[in-house]
Protein backbone atom coordinates (compact mmCIF):
# COMPACT_ATOMS: atom_id res chain seq x y z
CA UNK A 1 0.00 0.00 0.00
CA UNK A 2 1.14 3.51 -0.71
CA UNK A 3 2.16 5.60 2.22
CA UNK A 4 0.25 8.81 1.86
CA UNK A 5 1.38 12.03 3.39
CA UNK A 6 -1.57 14.38 3.35
CA UNK A 7 0.56 17.51 3.19
CA UNK A 8 4.26 17.30 2.36
CA UNK A 9 6.57 20.06 3.43
CA UNK A 10 9.95 18.82 2.24
CA UNK A 11 8.93 16.49 -0.56
CA UNK A 12 11.19 13.64 0.51
CA UNK A 13 9.90 10.15 -0.14
CA UNK A 14 11.94 8.77 2.81
CA UNK A 15 13.31 6.01 0.58
CA UNK A 16 9.99 4.20 0.30
CA UNK A 17 9.35 3.56 -3.36
CA UNK A 18 5.59 3.37 -3.09
CA UNK A 19 5.06 6.49 -1.00
CA UNK A 20 3.34 9.42 -2.58
CA UNK A 21 3.58 12.90 -1.20
CA UNK A 22 0.55 15.04 -1.81
CA UNK A 23 0.80 18.80 -2.11
CA UNK A 24 -2.00 21.30 -1.85
CA UNK A 25 -2.13 23.83 -4.70
CA UNK A 26 -1.56 26.57 -2.10
CA UNK A 27 1.81 25.03 -1.25
CA UNK A 28 2.75 24.80 -4.92
CA UNK A 29 1.69 28.41 -5.54
CA UNK A 30 4.17 29.57 -2.88
CA UNK A 31 7.08 28.17 -4.91
CA UNK A 32 6.91 30.84 -7.57
CA UNK A 33 10.24 32.65 -7.46
CA UNK A 34 13.58 31.91 -9.12
CA UNK A 35 14.77 30.63 -5.70
CA UNK A 36 12.27 27.81 -5.87
CA UNK A 37 10.04 26.87 -8.78
CA UNK A 38 7.41 24.19 -8.68
CA UNK A 39 5.07 23.34 -11.54
CA UNK A 40 2.05 21.11 -11.89
CA UNK A 41 1.83 18.99 -15.03
CA UNK A 42 -0.97 16.43 -15.35
CA UNK A 43 -1.69 16.49 -11.61
CA UNK A 44 1.94 15.88 -10.69
CA UNK A 45 4.20 18.33 -8.92
CA UNK A 46 7.68 19.06 -10.25
CA UNK A 47 10.47 21.00 -8.60
CA UNK A 48 12.19 22.55 -11.61
CA UNK A 49 14.42 24.95 -9.65
CA UNK A 50 17.67 23.30 -10.74
CA UNK A 51 16.33 22.84 -14.30
CA UNK A 52 15.70 26.55 -14.79
CA UNK A 53 19.04 27.33 -16.46
CA UNK A 54 19.05 24.08 -18.41
CA UNK A 55 15.61 24.32 -19.99
CA UNK A 56 16.06 24.46 -23.81
CA UNK A 57 12.91 26.59 -24.03
CA UNK A 58 14.42 29.21 -21.70
CA UNK A 59 13.85 30.09 -18.09
CA UNK A 60 11.23 32.79 -18.74
CA UNK A 61 8.50 30.34 -19.66
CA UNK A 62 9.11 28.35 -16.48
CA UNK A 63 9.19 31.53 -14.38
CA UNK A 64 5.91 32.67 -15.90
CA UNK A 65 4.21 29.43 -14.88
CA UNK A 66 5.97 29.09 -11.53
CA UNK A 67 3.65 27.79 -8.84
CA UNK A 68 0.88 27.12 -11.34
CA UNK A 69 -0.55 24.37 -13.52
CA UNK A 70 1.63 24.23 -16.63
CA UNK A 71 -0.09 21.23 -18.24
CA UNK A 72 -1.63 23.14 -21.14
CA UNK A 73 1.52 25.10 -21.97
CA UNK A 74 3.67 21.98 -21.66
CA UNK A 75 1.41 20.11 -24.08
CA UNK A 76 0.98 23.06 -26.46
CA UNK A 77 4.74 23.14 -27.08
CA UNK A 78 4.64 19.49 -28.13
CA UNK A 79 7.54 18.38 -25.96
CA UNK A 80 9.46 15.34 -27.16
CA UNK A 81 9.42 11.97 -25.40
CA UNK A 82 12.91 12.85 -24.11
CA UNK A 83 11.43 15.93 -22.43
CA UNK A 84 8.70 13.75 -20.89
CA UNK A 85 11.36 11.34 -19.62
CA UNK A 86 13.17 14.28 -18.03
CA UNK A 87 10.08 15.12 -16.00
CA UNK A 88 10.79 12.09 -13.78
CA UNK A 89 13.96 13.72 -12.48
CA UNK A 90 12.02 16.63 -11.09
CA UNK A 91 8.95 14.82 -9.80
CA UNK A 92 8.35 15.40 -6.10
CA UNK A 93 4.75 14.33 -5.58
CA UNK A 94 1.13 14.55 -6.64
CA UNK A 95 -1.47 17.28 -6.32
CA UNK A 96 -3.75 16.54 -3.39
CA UNK A 97 -6.88 14.74 -4.68
CA UNK A 98 -9.11 17.47 -3.18
CA UNK A 99 -7.35 20.05 -5.35
CA UNK A 100 -7.49 18.13 -8.61
CA UNK A 101 -9.65 19.68 -11.29
CA UNK A 102 -12.83 17.63 -11.66
CA UNK A 103 -11.72 16.19 -15.00
CA UNK A 104 -13.27 12.81 -14.29
CA UNK A 105 -15.99 14.29 -12.08
CA UNK A 106 -17.24 16.52 -14.88
CA UNK A 107 -17.72 13.45 -17.02
CA UNK A 108 -20.43 12.16 -14.71
CA UNK A 109 -22.80 15.11 -15.11
CA UNK A 110 -22.05 15.26 -18.82
CA UNK A 111 -22.93 11.57 -19.03
CA UNK A 112 -26.12 12.40 -17.16
CA UNK A 113 -26.86 15.13 -19.65
CA UNK A 114 -26.29 12.77 -22.54
CA UNK A 115 -28.57 10.30 -20.84
CA UNK A 116 -31.26 12.95 -20.35
CA UNK A 117 -30.97 14.32 -23.88
CA UNK A 118 -31.10 10.76 -25.18
CA UNK A 119 -34.44 10.26 -23.44
CA UNK A 120 -35.92 13.60 -24.47
CA UNK A 121 -34.79 12.80 -28.01
CA UNK A 122 -36.83 9.59 -28.07
CA UNK A 123 -39.73 10.28 -25.70
CA UNK A 124 -41.12 13.29 -27.58
CA UNK A 125 -41.59 11.43 -30.92
CA UNK A 126 -42.99 8.36 -29.09
CA UNK A 127 -45.59 10.43 -27.19
CA UNK A 128 -46.37 12.28 -30.43
CA UNK A 129 -46.93 8.97 -32.25
CA UNK A 130 -49.24 7.70 -29.45
CA UNK A 131 -51.30 10.93 -29.51
CA UNK A 132 -51.55 10.76 -33.31
CA UNK A 133 -52.66 7.11 -33.03
CA UNK A 134 -55.44 8.06 -30.62
CA UNK A 135 -56.55 10.97 -32.80
CA UNK A 136 -56.59 8.73 -35.87
CA UNK A 137 -58.69 6.09 -34.04
CA UNK A 138 -61.00 8.78 -32.69
CA UNK A 139 -61.66 10.34 -36.10
CA UNK A 140 -61.96 7.03 -37.95
CA UNK A 141 -64.44 5.70 -35.33
CA UNK A 142 -66.43 8.97 -35.58
CA UNK A 143 -66.59 8.88 -39.39
CA UNK A 144 -67.74 5.22 -39.21
CA UNK A 145 -70.54 6.03 -36.73
CA UNK A 146 -71.88 9.02 -38.75
List residues near ligand HEM by CB under 6 A: 39, 46, 48, 51, 55-57, 61-62, 65, 70, 73-74, 77, 79-80, 82-83, 86-87, 90
Minimum separation from the CB atom of position 41 to ligand HEM (A): 6
Spatial strand order of the sheet with 36-41 comes to 4-5, 20-23, 91-95, 44-47, 36-41, 32-33
With respect to ligand HEM, which residue has the nearer C-beta, 57 or 128? 57
Looking at beta carbons only, is 88 or 144 nearer to ligand HEM? 88
d(CA 28, CA 84): 20
Min dist CB 19 to ligand HEM, Å, is 21
CB of 5 to ligand HEM, least distance (A): 22
Say if residue 122 is exposed, middle or buried (CB neighbours under 10 Å; 0-12, 13-18, 19+): exposed
Query: Smaller CB distance to ligand HEM: residue 24 or 55?
Result: 55
Cβ proximity to ligand HEM: between 92 and 96 the closer is: 92
- Nearest approach, Cβ of 56 to ligand HEM (angstroms)? 4
Closest CB to ligand HEM belongs to which residue?
57
Q: How many CB atoms lie within 10 A of CB 57?
A: 12
Amino acid sequence: MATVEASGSDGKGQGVETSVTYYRLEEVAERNSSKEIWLVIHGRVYDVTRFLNEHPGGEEVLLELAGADATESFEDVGHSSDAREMLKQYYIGDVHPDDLKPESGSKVPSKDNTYKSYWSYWIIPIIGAIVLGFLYRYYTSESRSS
